[in-house]
Structure 1
Amino acid sequence: MDRPNLPLNGLRAFEVAARQGSFTRAAIELRVTQAAVSQQIQRLEELLGHRLFTRASTGLILTDIGAALHPVLTRNFDEMGEVLDRFQGGRYREALNLGVVTTFATGWLIPRLPAFEAAHPGISLRVFTHNNRIDIAKEGLHMAIRFGDRTAWPWLEADPLIAAPLTPLCAPGLLGQLRTPQDLAGQRLLRSYRADEWGDWFAAAGADCPPLEGPVLDSSVAMADLAAAGQGVALLPAAMFARQLEAGALVRPFAAEVEAGRYWLTWPRGKPQTVAMAQVRAWLADSAGSAVATG
């Protein structure tokens, strides 16, 4: 089909109706009447010579032709929308979707975002938090910051950011009860899904690890909140909770710490680097290096 004859209104109506599963919801999104959506799709079907939907009590069901056409349209409309978004407000802005493990987002990145935005007005940085388990491509991200060992993601490119050794943190009220690492045996030790962390820390501290019981959490932020409330002792990266330590909400009873990985900026191997990706990489490398040098 020649480009000048592409039925753009019908294609757009079809894409929205297929995504919404309803002509009524499609009409709301497109801000037209339901009859207008139905007519546009009917004209598209007549042009193609194929039905795109069948109706059922549960909503619209795509035919084989419709199922083949829909993902192509969604992908291309999303790409067009992303490009158009860059020109909003009368100036060019490139969007970059960045997944960030929550601990790093709250403990390091978010306080520095104003500095990034001031230095890079041409980039619209969209931050999406995650719990360290993320698929960059499936979740529509360009890059992701995660914690761990580089060998865990051999299919990704990765830049090292900040080392974050783990150490026990607790509420100030528990400090008097913790004179030696062995005193932790009488406390509730909050655990993450990485089961060997406490054992590794006790080995580094020269003490035996007591039996570990209680809930397992997948959020360091949640563990820090529980620890600050006096509900246990959490093994956390102290560098990510500097504000709580400075404010006295958390205290560090022991100097011993254990390496469990570091924070990495990752992106798909072989993915072409956009201008925004290159600038975010450079800014993170510079800022993380400065944080290590001063911190």
Structure 2
Amino acid sequence: MKPPSLAPSPALPLKALQAFEATMRLGGMGRAAERLGVTHGAVSRQIGLLQQALGHPLFEGPRNARRPTAEADRLWTEIAPAFAALEQAIAGRGRVGRRVRVSCLSTLAARWLIPRLPDFAAAAPDVVVELTESYAALDRTLGGADLAIRMSTADAACPEGLEAVPFMDNAIGVVTAPGGAPDVRLVSRSHPSAWTNWTTQTGRPAPAGGPIEFDHQQTMIEAAAAGLGAAVAQRPLVEADLAGGRLWAPHGFVTDSAVFAVFHRHGETGPPARRFLAWLKQQGDRAG
């Protein structure tokens, strides 16, 4: 007697699911195409095939501003852990997948993180760090990064789908060049409340002269080191200048309610990201 014939199982649309997962995780088909090494049209076609297989749309809105539907959010929530598990499995074998994409505040990257990266390279020579600089607000895509370093506060709500790990307190203080102009106030437009925060924390008045304004903290700190005036700066951004004698902090530093935190997607830290995160926490502890 012949066994009953079984209907063939439908083929799992892995390419389409990969394109969809990358689009959801990275926040757009263009970023997904770049990460997957294909064209935007290829990603769009794969998602179109997936929509046909499911029988309902996954994205809506105008062509240049497509947004996920509720069904897309539900599907991504279900498949994302599986793709994360696959990436972790591959990351532990050979050099495939052994990279971590880090988004960081630009001044912190230049003045604090990059000088320390040789230490991480020595501790984890098999992990490649891809660093981008950004002040952008965060959502679950992290702008295509695995980890994003930003400022936060203890009571701040974490964006949906993300977890925040504080790794360093925010210590602020007045810095100026030895023999500079301590009575002239230097201000960064990217942190306009710095002097107010410092005076609130310490009760000391701000310099009466100025202000001289700069777009970013990086240029404000250089102006202070050049002797143009005094600036309120975060200690991690000026520690090398303090050690080298380019700047001094006449009143020391005080901590405020802010912290440096690293954000990652819930349940999606693979081995390279976990190694970098552990190293980052060690660096933050040393800085404290």
Which TM-score bucket, shorter chain as reference? 0.5 to 0.7
1:198-277 pair list within 5 angstroms = 198-203=195-200, 204-207=202-205, 210=208, 213-215=211-213, 217=215, 219-248=216-245, 250-268=246-264, 270-277=266-273
1:58-97 pair list within 5 angstroms = 91-97=95-101
Name structure 2 gaps, 5 residues minimum: 1-7, 16-28, 31-36, 43-48, 54-74
Which residue of structure 2 lines up, in the alignment, with residue 108 of structure 1?
A: 112
Kindly provide the amino acid, as one letter, of the partner of residue 269 in structure 2: Q
Kindly provide the amino acid, as one letter, of the partner of residue 221 in structure 2: A
Bigger Rg, which one: 1
Which residue of structure 2 lines up, in the alignment, with residue 98 of structure 1?
A: 102
> What's the CA shift string for 1:205-239, capped at 9, x where partnerless?
5336648745353x322221232334443211133
Which residue of structure 2 lines up, in the alignment, with residue 66 of structure 1?
A: none
The CA distance in 1 between the partners of 2:229 and 2:189, in whole Å, is 13
Which residue of structure 1 lines up, in the alignment, with residue 60 of structure 2?
A: none
- Partners of 1:170 and 1:232 within 8 A in 2: yes
- Partners of 1:147 and 1:263 within 8 A in 2: yes
Correspondence 1:282 to 2:278? yes
SS in 2 for 1:267: strand
1:167 to 147, 160, 173: 173
CA RMSD in angstroms comes to 5.2
2:155 to 138, 151, 157: 151
TM-score, structure 1 length as denominator? 0.59
Correspondence 1:134 to 2:137? yes
2:194 to 190, 194, 197: 197
SS in 2 for 1:118: helix
The CA distance in 1 between the partners of 2:13 and 2:267, in whole Å, is 32
Alignment: residue pair count = 255
SS in 1 for 2:155: helix
The CA distance in 2 between the partners of 1:239 and 1:125, in whole Å, is 21
The CA distance in 2 between the partners of 1:212 and 1:148, in whole Å, is 29
TM-score, structure 2 length as denominator? 0.60
The CA distance in 2 between the partners of 1:208 and 1:267, in whole Å, is 34
- Identity, % of aligned positions: 24
The CA distance in 1 between the partners of 2:146 and 2:281, in whole Å, is 17
- Give the drift of 1:198: 0.7
SS in 2 for 1:207: coil
The CA distance in 2 between the partners of 1:130 and 1:170, in whole Å, is 27
Higher helix share: 1
Kindly provide the amino acid, as one letter, of the partner of residue 274 in structure 1: G
Name structure 1 gaps, 5 residues minimum: 10-18, 21-28, 31-36, 38-43, 49-71, 179-183
Kindly provide the amino acid, as one letter, of the partner of residue 270 in structure 2: T
Kindly provide the amino acid, as one letter, of the partner of residue 267 in structure 1: F
Kindly provide the amino acid, as one letter, of the partner of residue 144 in structure 1: A
The CA distance in 1 between the partners of 2:148 and 2:269, in whole Å, is 14
